[in-house]
Structure 1
């Protein structure tokens, strides 16, 4: 089942875009074009993730990936409380009762890992952090290739240390967000074409370039800079298979 991201027929990965854009149909379309399609499991339940995996398996017999959001530690309670107080006048104006406490949101992490261990998929990638070495080893044991999203050479070292098979190197040109490993981290400003060789200096793992790549020239430049493949997200949002809303499509 293991997939080598440096051996794709077409070195293009469909970025996992949470919130609806990354549909099973889009995964299958990227696969038909020779690339590697990805589902976005972030902000979904484990059951919702499994339902989409089943749909992908019906639509394509080629390898595909599933992206997970890594839960972070609890936020700063004082900062959350201060934000709630800032919102309170507006909430009272509209008759909304604000919660006094907000529990930790682990995005169904444990249930998703259990589902992916019981019914493995070819590739799993991680955003906003990394699994533990034990979690990564368990997925490796069932044959899943794992990709860590990194924004700095330091994050690249950490990803290799826990057992990632490849790295998604996300530059500041990214259209959606930067996948730093901690919420409080200040994202690096090194442009993608400079970040790729900087990451290459600290690891020999295959690199996937991500962030602001929208045409053939940009893809070619990223491959020349050391990427084994590229990851495209915004460029796919207006495709027929995208789940982007009409308003989002019109804005693009």
Structure 2
């Protein structure tokens, strides 16, 4: 079974759903001596399978795949699609609020489906039939039988946690390593309950706490932009460090050009954690959509994400960054429009100049 210690350099390219994570980015991370993660979220099982096969060939099978744990799955240690009529009413109310956005972009809002599982069962079946070295889970914990079956085919399981309570649950569930996400991370916070407000404990403090709780490898994620950041996280107990926003502007990133340009434009000076785009707490560049709708969206994922999908797609077609989910961590100014292998290699050299990067 793959272990984090197998990496020549303990740096991972984060799974970034919605386009940024690509087979080329996975290959670049592998060529640098690290590990690249594919994001299966929002993809069909066929699209996921095709991307895995390309990445497998480009990276010599040095890759991982990330799955979202659906709230609607029984037995998963995540949030449940509770709320019934009240939840549906709050979603409908937000839909009415978004009608002005629908008119702005000339689109029709869909009818949300709270039971959507993002093809989770089919994706698990594929990964059992065609195993990859590592599978990570976000938004909760996989059911015990899934943990057992993935272990049976030799897969290393990384479970995402954002606090000590989630870490204890992940260890008990059978994790092989923990992805420890701090408050500065871009994109969705990996809280196990969708309606929970994300914690503000610093990543270094959380790593220090978890290093006393478990001997499992800890993968630090969130706000990494320099070698000094890497050294600080390793000193706090991290066995590896995961990079997301830092790689968004690389040519291998599949992020939309409008997103890449916004990161470098200087027009956006800060980030915000919001539920406005998806119903789950997520950090992105503070744009018009967030300013106008933050605080209005209910904690209802996937329904809110479904409502805003055509709005985001239309904004992308129009090249309008103020209607996009410009996911980014607090260290977004460190993102570089240079080849990903170079970015990863130079980050490691900056952190540990006396150690070889390859």
- One fold, TM greater than 0.5? yes
Q: 1:37 to 1:101 in 2, by over 3 A?
A: closer
CA distance in 2, matches of 1:240, 1:106: 31
In the TM superposition, what are the counterparts of 1:65-214 in structure 2 within 5 Å? Answer: 65-72=64-71, 73-74=80-81, 76-87=87-98, 102-214=113-225
3-state secondary structure, aligned to 1:169: strand
In the TM superposition, what are the counterparts of 1:8-23 in structure 2 within 5 Å? Answer: 8-23=7-22
CA distance in 2, matches of 1:25, 1:85: 40
CA deviation map 1:165-200 (0-9, x unaligned): 000000001022211011011111001111101122
Superposition deviation, residue 218 in structure 1: 0.4
Q: 1:197 to 1:96 in 2, by over 3 A?
A: same
Point out the more displaced range, 70-79 or 19-28.
70-79
In the TM superposition, what are the counterparts of 1:1-80 in structure 2 within 5 Å? Answer: 2-72=1-71, 73-74=80-81, 76-80=87-91
Aligned to 2:307: none
Q: 1:222 to 1:82 in 2, by over 3 A?
A: same
Superposition deviation, residue 85 in structure 1: 3.7
Q: 1:124 to 1:101 in 2, by over 3 A?
A: closer
CA distance in 2, matches of 1:178, 1:93: 29
Superposed structure 1 runs of 4+ greater than 6 Å apart:
92-96
CA distance in 2, matches of 1:59, 1:84: 42
Superposition deviation, residue 84 in structure 1: 2.9
Aligned length: 251
Say whether 1:223 aligns with 2:245.
no
CA distance in 1, matches of 2:96, 2:260: 35
TM-score by length of 2: 0.66
3-state secondary structure, aligned to 2:249: coil
CA deviation map 1:52-84 (0-9, x unaligned): 011012212142100001101325223223323
Superposition deviation, residue 247 in structure 1: 1.5
Q: 1:20 to 1:7 in 2, by over 3 A?
A: same
Q: 1:54 to 1:78 in 2, by over 3 A?
A: same
CA deviation map 1:91-141 (0-9, x unaligned): 589886655663422010000000000111110001111101111111000
Alignment RMSD: 1.9
TM-score by length of 1: 0.93
CA distance in 1, matches of 2:110, 2:60: 46
Contact 1:3 1:63 in 2 (8 A): no
CA deviation map 1:24-54 (0-9, x unaligned): 0010000000000110101111111100011
Say whether 1:239 aligns with 2:250.
yes
Runs of at least 5 residues in structure 2 that lack an aligned partner in the other structure: 72-79, 264-358
3-state secondary structure, aligned to 2:8: coil
